Amino acid sequence: MADVEADFGPVVDGTDPTEVFVIEEDGQGIGIIQRYRFDDDPEWNRVMAVGSAPRPAMGLDYLIGVEDRTGKGLGGPIIAEFVDGTWDRSPDIGAFVVDVHQANYRSWRALEKAGFRRDWSGTIQSDDPSDEGPQHVYIRLRPTR
């Protein structure tokens, strides 16, 4: 519980501007998806300055945590719907930018199915241990009207 509080307490308390949502299927929680503005975290904005995405931009994290729901093709549609629902809510955002471990084929395929394109590959210089190793950076630009 201490780890959960450390990771999510500030979001629940409103002291961290990251927005976290539960992914539901048939009324049951099967994962989470969250979005955050890079401008809210200057260090992360610096780390993700690779590639060609315009600023201001948002980051996105997601996971389906119920094992029997992984590998079922849910990720792409969930991510697409979530991003599509963000454009009107955040009219100043020019793109979503997501980094994915190169070995995490399922994750980067879900992004591609959600309309993201690979923009950069390499090693990100970050203090976050979850970013260690080769990464792909994907972007999805705001649609033009």
Q: What is the pTM of this model?
A: 0.90
Strand order in the sheet with 117-123: 19-25, 28-37, 57-64, 95-101, 134-141, 117-123
The DSSP code sequence of 40-64 is G-HHHHHHT--SS--SSEEEEEEEE
Domain boundaries, the chain: 16-141
Q: How far apart are CA 95 and CA 121, in angstroms?
A: 18
Instruction: Give the pLDDT confidence score for residue 41 in this predicted structure.
Output: 85
Q: Domain 16-141 classified CATH 1.10.132.50?
A: no
- Structural contact between residues 34 and 68, judged by C-beta atoms closer than 8 angstroms: no
- Whether residue 119 has pLDDT greater than 80: yes
pLDDT tens digit sequence for 130-140: 888 899 999 99
Top mean pLDDT of 6-15, 37-46, 109-118 is at: 109-118
41-68 residue pLDDT tens: 888 777 787 778 888 999 999 999 999 9
